[in-house]
Every structure is written in C-alpha cells, then in structure tokens.
A and B are shown apart, each in its own frame.
Chain A
Amino acid sequence: MKRFSRLFAELDATTATSAKVAALQRYFADAAPADAAWAVYFLSGGKPRQVVPTATLRALACERAGISDWLFDECYQAVGDLAETIALVLPAPQHESDVGLADWVEQRLLPLRGLSPAEQAARIAAFWDELDTTGRFLLTKLIGGGFRVGVSKLLVQRALAAHAGLDDKLLAQRMMGWTDAKQTPDAARFAALLAAEGAGGAAPLGQPYPFFLAHAVEGLPSEFDARLGAPGDWLVEWKYDGIRAQVVRRGGQTWIWSRGEELVTERFPEVVALAQEWPDGTVLDGEILVWKSDAPAPFNLLQQRIARKTLTKRVLADAPASFIAYDLLEWQGVDLRARPQRERRALLEAASAGRSMRVSPVEQRDSWAALAALREESRARGVEGFMLKHGQAQYGSGRRKQEGLAGGTWLKWKIDPLSVDAVLVYAQAGHGRRASVYTDYTFAVWSHPPQDAAEAQQVVDAIARREPAQPGALQLVTFAKAYSGLSDGEFAEVDRIIRQTTLEKFGPVRSVRPTLVFELGFEGINASPRHKSGIAVRFPRMLRIRHDKPLHEADSLATLKALMDDGGRRERELSNDGIG
C-alpha cells in the first residue's frame, strides 16, 4: 500500500500529463506484478462490488473519532468526499504496516464480504489503525468502490505501453474488459498485458475492440469546404442519442459491451436476438436505442429501461430496445479496423442484407449548406445532429487523431442546444475539487412574463422576506439543476455572489436572493408530472452568465412550453403511446 500511496500522491500532486505518465511508469517498474495488476484495475475505473455499506464506514469513523453524526456531516459537507472525510477525522494510527495492494484486496478486503457487521467493523478499525492519512483515504476508496484520481484509462495505457515497449493501441486492445470485474486481476493477466506482440496467448473469446471516439466540430458550414474538404469525402450519418455499444458474435455466443466497457448482454435480449442472425467472427459497432413507431424514442425512455432490474413483459413492450449498426469491425474473424471507412461500410451493407438489424442510413448532399439545412430536421427526427466519418478513416482507438486527415477522422456535428434564460434560486456545494464551492445550481423561470422590473422586484422582495407565493400570482418556478459549463473563474465569481445573497441554509443547500440570470442550454424537453414545473429538460448546463439581462427579462414557463411544442412534440407522442 505504501508504494501505491506514493503513486497516488505523485499523480495527485501534478496536473501535467507527462509527469503522471512518468509516475505511472516508475510505479509499474517498481511494483510486484500482482499489485500492479490491481493498480491498473483501480486506476482504469474498475470497481469491485462494495463489500461494506457506506453507512457502516461512516458510523465506524464517527465512533473511532469520537464525534457525533451531525459533526461528521458538517465535515463531509466541507470536504465533499466521504473517504477523505473519514481519513481526516480518524485519530492518529498506532501501528504501521506495509502490505501490498494485491494482498490488501484479496486477503483483507474481499474476505470482508459476508462477515457480520461487528466483525467487519472490528477489522476495518484495525486496518485504519495501521495506515497514514493517504493510506486510509485510499483504503476507504477501495472499500467504497469509487476511485477517481484524475488519471484516465488512456494515461494508464500509455504508461503501460511505454513500460513494456509496446504500441499504445495494442495495449488498449488488450485492456478491453480489464475492469469488468467478472475476472480478478492477477500477476498472470498483468504479464499477458505486457507480453511481446504476438505472444501472450489468445484474447478472451468475448473481447471487444477499443471504441473509436469522435471529436466535436463547430463553426459555420461555409467554412467546412476549407476545413474538411468536399462533403463527398465523408460518410454523413445521423447522430443517435442512445448507448454506444459493440455487439460481439463469436463461438456461437453473443456479447454486448457498452462504451464504459461494461457487459450489458443480459439487459438487451432484443439485441441478442438480432445478433443471433449473424455468423461467428462478427463485431458490430453501433447504438442501442429504444425504437418506436419506426423512429428512435427519446433518451429518457432508454434511461427508464436501464434503471429496471427485471425486464418484465410490460417494460419490454413499453421500451423496446433495438440496435442500429454503423460499423463493421470484424467480419469472418478478420479485424477490419485498418481498412478505410468506405470499405467497411460497403462490407456492412452487404453483410446486413437479408438480416433484421438496422443499419444507420447515410445522407448525401452536394454541399455542406444543403447538409446544414437537412441537419435542421434533427430534433424532429429524434437525433442530435450528424456524424461525419472520413471515407479514408481507419477505425482508431479512443480520441487519438489520425495523421493526414482533416480535423480528425470521426466528427460529431451536433445541433445547437435549446436554451432559455433562467434565474438562479438555490445552490449547493460540489464534490471533489469543487468541495466547499457552490457549483450546483437550481434554476427557475417566471410563472408568466412579468410586466416590468418593478413587478419582478416585488417577487424578489417577497422571497427575501420568506413569504410564500400566492397561488396564481407571479412567481419563480424551478425547473432544472445544472452544474457544468462555467470556468473555474466564473464559478468563483458566482460562489462569491451566492455567499453574499444567501437567504437561508437547508443543510448543504442555500437559497439565494434571486439576482443572477443564466443562459441555460439543454438537449431535449419533455412533460414530466414529477417536476413542479411540469417539465423535464435533458442534460441542462450553463451556456453563460447573463449579467446584461435584468431579472424581469428572464424567460417564463410559456417559453419552455413553446419549445416543448416545437421540437418536443414527437418526443411526447412517443413517450405517451407506451402508457396510453
């Protein structure tokens, strides 16, 4: 644990990518292979199932620190991270140990499962008592099953590749599924990761390929000829708002992998059924969507579907999943990723003939302007814009750009978000590096447009006097929460204003005297009986602070309803026809 602690401290102490990769390389050179195997697992986002409930950890920490529950809560609110709070409140350790990471996990943490709560508590207390603050923090993170240290999987791959003298892409390929938790990391698997190219034995049968990710493209279509070349150089497809997935068909079996490298096969029996029609030695890349009335349904239906533990007939009927294929990565057992996009596309079209699986249609227009006009239909079609894939593009790995092709090889050309001007009314402090900074905001719009500044001011004054709004009278109606889109500097500025305009504190939440107007962007809008406003927006985020906008000029519910009637009509029809 000491060596892993030191690695963590080094990673945490720098923001420079090169320094992080160097620290990882030093670690891989030093650490025992079994320890390194677990380090790769945790640093790449692996999460073992939580063996001890969070409530137990909290209660135990309070007991050891001799503080009451409320005081621990106050600490947690200031720190914004449970494991760190625990590490900081515990009394100084009485012992010292240096047990390796693998032994910690395998001999000490995993065996906690199934023990009585009293026995778990006794053992954890003893563990904490032999570790310093950083060690305790890490151990508690490992127990709690959430470990983010500002290292991406990509950096781990780079460091491992450099350490082993291998190509990054090969490492990425070998690491697919490493964090899936169905098999335990160990020294042998770690050795296989680092083995010379061609050695190291066969990959597991269900192994997917690293996902190729797109870069965003913005700007005016009139610039695209210069920047991207002729539209004919590109495959233009609609960008779907679902779950990116690979369908792997080998040895008579089917695996479905999400982009998060999680096996989701059991969740989508409809997709498994589609895959059965394909021969062994096939890997398809595409999107899982809820598909209704011959069109993609809004993401919230898919979201509800994912949340269901058991797939009843009703769930399957209300939110039928489908898969729309857009790339063929392996065919007849041959890896096609180095072939040009157009060739893979042609193979995909040929192979899909006579099979039930949908293939993403390709749109062709003579000019970027014509494509831009077509893109305006995105919202009505239930998609997010276009994907542009260069005809010569190989299927790369992650977000690495390919040499010599304009602007990367897969581009997402998304439509602008819907937006309204909304008023900040509640704020809550964030977590992690935003701990103790008010970064999570609740926004409101007017119940109807105020006549003038004076009428808006009366409402603000009434709020400041804590007077409840009269039914039917002008008021601010909350409709969305957002916590992204501002720079650190802007957050600091808003944080300051929130502290100055706080009206009341409800635990971690502050109500503020309404003074700030924000332009709030979101992807979709739906009627929702669960929200006070009757409206739910998808992926709300702050586009900018509108210091220029007086409060009474913020938007009202009528604006939101109009947006819903325009772009959201189809979405609502689709959401409703499952129920009615």
Chain B
Amino acid sequence: MTPDDLVIERPEGLYCPPGDFFIDPWRPVERAVITHAHGDHARRGHAHYLASAPSEGVLRARLGDDIALQTLDYGESIEHRGVRLSLHPAGHVLGSAQVRLEHGGRTWVASGDYFVSGAGDDNRTCVPFEPVRCDCFITESTFGLPIYRWQPQREVFADIDAWWRANADAGRASLLMAYSFGKAQRLLAGVDASIGPIVVHGAVDPLNQAYRAAGVALPPTQLASDVTDKASLARALVIAPPSVQGSAWTRRFGDYGDAFASGWMQLRGTRRRRAVDRGFVLSDHADWPGLQRAIAATGAARVIVTHGYEAVMVRWLQEQGLQAGAFHTEYDDERSDAADPGVASDAAADAAAAPGPEPAA
C-alpha cells in the first residue's frame, strides 16, 4: 500500500481517503457508494447512499424507502472532494455497477461483483459488463479457480427447459431453487415460458416487481399462495429461494422434481450435498476465464483481489507479471453452495424482502 492509493482497507470497509467515502462498507458510515443491492454489499445504517439509477428500486425495496439515496446513470460522473466518480455496468444483477474513481491523474476501478459473458451470452436482466480502463483494478474472485468455466448459458437453459418439460409431462411440478434477487429473475427471463405456468415464492415476487418496474421483460408469474387451481401445479415451474428445501412450504406441490441453480453446482460434491435431483450450473459471477479477460481488458498494471480465492488469484496474477495484492473484506466469500452470495445471505435478505405471508424458512 502506498500513501497515494485511492482505495484502502478500513475496519468499516473499503475506503477512499481523498474522497472520504466507503465502497460497500459492512459497518455504518457517513457516505457509502453501493455497487449492488445484494445483502452483503448493501447494508443498512449508512447516513448517505450513492448507487446506480437502475438499482434504486431494488435498493429501496431491500433497505427501505427512507434511505438517503443519490443515484447516477451508468457513465454519468460527479466530483466529490476532488475525486471524479462514475458508475459502470457490472453485468451481475439489475443495477450492479463498477465504481470508477479518478484523482490526481490516477484511475482506480472497484468491481463489486461482476459477470462477463462469453460471446452472445449475456445476462438479459441487466446491462452487460463494460470494461473500464484503469491503473488499478479491484476485482472479486468468487470463482477464481480454473475449475470454474461456465458452459454457454443457452445450453444451461436448454437443460433446464428439458428437465421442466419432462417433469410436466410426468405430471409433477418442477421446484427450481435459486437466490431470490438476481438469479431468480435471470431464470425467469431465460426459460421457455410456453412449457407451463410459472409460480414464485413470496420472497421472489417483490424483486420481480422491481425488475419489471425497471423495464426488464419477465414472463407472467403467479404467487404460490395465490394459486387456487391446484391441478395447474402439475405442469408448473416453481422458483423459490434455497431456504424452502425440506420445509413445509413445499408440501403444496405434492410430488415434485427439485433442482438448484448456482455456479457452485459445477462440483459434484456440492451437487450431492444439496441432495436435489438436478444441479444447474448458472452463475452471476465471472468464471476463471472471465476474470482473466476482465482484468486484462482494464489494462491495469496493479490488481487488488477481494472476496473469494484471493490467495490463488494474487499468486496467479503475479506470475502473469502484474502487481497484485488482496483486500480482506466481509463480503460473502464462502466456498460452498451454502454460502453462494446467491445463497448465504438469503435468509436475511429474504426476510427483508418478503413482508408477505410466505415463510422464508
């Protein structure tokens, strides 16, 4: 660390000294720039929030209407205490942003969580990741191992559709578990809605509404508690958070097939531990080639790695001739399905997002 660094570690979170603000802090602070609305990045209790315009709906739905929130369009910049700040698409979830900071001739970018697609394989529910040139890039590393290489998204959706169709033909519901914010909407936007009706859990519904309000096209969905025609469930796709697994909530579906959608499903061990019929490998995070591609595209000579396989990424990047280090953060970096950022904070996040009658657990 040098005194000129634009972002440093503080007990409260990542801190920009010249600008006197934090990025995704985990303790309450005066000024917080929020990369996206997942629970481990967007916490309650900050005095002032700055976030992307498309994230406003979700952020308010999760943190409350009364937060002091200023928004920026992607690419729009403001100056604060001499630091020029702008937000750029990260491709992770609706409204997710990379934070670009410019001060004293240096440019730094903090990625938050991001997803970079292979060719023609974008996450259709948000604006795709946009590489931003910088001197220093702060990158996540959730899937920072060469074993994580995603197959094309269309193939995954073809598998999901085939599974749903086979269940529907056998007269049983398809319970597809996924994180209620981000993954659930991506699934909705990607499946073939002509196969049957789509039913969602009460934790998923408010996020769907926020997505639709932001102009994201999602197929029609019905709340599970609103379903009166039980017979229609036999062909239904049910999207619910992982916390429903084994709970009383699932009894209404009678005999059903179950599946889980997450990047962690890449490993046989995590699939088997989940004890579901199918594990679909679908992640909102960059895979190993994606991380390397994104880092290279920034042109940064220095890279700082956060949450995930920091040590591995740092060593790898150093071998590639880059100046690399790590920040210790308190974002979810657990290496199992139980703690997918798409999963771990689910209980808390869903509790916050689901005022409805549906028990989350």
Contacts and interface: CB of A to CB of B under 8 A. Distances in A.
B176 to A, nearest CB: 15
Interface string A1-36: 000000000001111000000000000000000000
A71 B267 contact: no
A492 B312 contact: no
- Interface size classification for chain B: 20 to 34
Contact of A78 (B149, B267, B315): B267
A499 B146 contact: no
Nearest to B334: A499
Interface stretch (B234-242, B270-278, B346-354): B270-278
Interface in B5-38: none
Contact of A71 (B146, B275, B335): B146
A75 B145 contact: yes
Contacts of B315: 70-71
Given A436-B269, A436-B270, A68 B146 contact: no
A81 B268 contact: yes
Best-buried of B267, B277, B316 by chain A (most CB within 10 Å): B267
A465 B268 CA distance: 38
Best-buried of B147, B149, B334, B338 by chain A (most CB within 10 Å): B147
Interface in A42-84: 65, 67-68, 70-71, 74-75, 78-81, 84
Nearest to B147: A88
Nearest to B273: A433
Nearest to B268: A84
A65 B145 contact: no
A79 B146 contact: no
A74 B145 contact: yes
Contacts of B336: 436-437, 495
A437 B336 CA distance: 7
Interface in B296-312: 309, 312
A200 interface: no
B266 interface: yes
A436 B147 CA distance: 13
B146 A89 contact: yes
A434 interface: yes
B295 to A, nearest CB: 16
B328 to A, nearest CB: 12
B270 to A, nearest CB: 7
B319 interface: yes
B335 A12 contact: no
B335 A85 contact: no
B147 A85 contact: yes
Interface residues of A, number: 31
Interface in B142-163: 145-147, 149
B73 to A, nearest CB: 39
B269 A434 contact: yes
Contacts of A80: 269
A14 B147 contact: no
A67 B146 contact: yes
A15 B272 CA distance: 9
A505 to B, nearest CB: 8
Interface string B276-290: 011000000000000
Interface in A425-453: 431-437
B269 A74 contact: no
Nearest to A491: B273
A474 B269 CA distance: 40
A81 B338 CA distance: 20
B267 A74 contact: no
Contacts of A15: 275
A432 B272 contact: yes
B277 A13 contact: yes
Contacts of B275: 15
B270 A74 contact: no
Interface string B105-148: 00000000000000000000000000000000000000001110
A488 interface: yes
Contacts of A88: 146-147, 149, 266
Contacts of A78: 145, 147, 267, 335
Best-buried of A67, A68, A150, A437 by chain B (most CB within 10 Å): A437
A435 B335 CA distance: 10
Closest 6 A/B residue pairs (Cβ): A435-B269, A433-B272, A88-B147, A75-B147, A433-B269, A74-B312
Given A15-B275, A74-B312, A435-B267, 17 more contacts: A13-B277, A13-B278, A14-B277, A71-B316, A81-B269, A84-B267, A85-B147, A88-B149, A88-B266, A89-B147, A431-B269, A432-B268, A434-B269, A435-B269, A435-B270, A436-B269, A488-B273
9 contacts: A13-B278, A65-B146, A71-B315, A75-B146, A79-B267, A84-B268, A88-B149, A433-B273, A434-B273
Interface of A: 12-15, 65, 67-68, 70-71, 74-75, 78-81, 84-85, 88-89, 150, 431-437, 488, 492, 495, 499
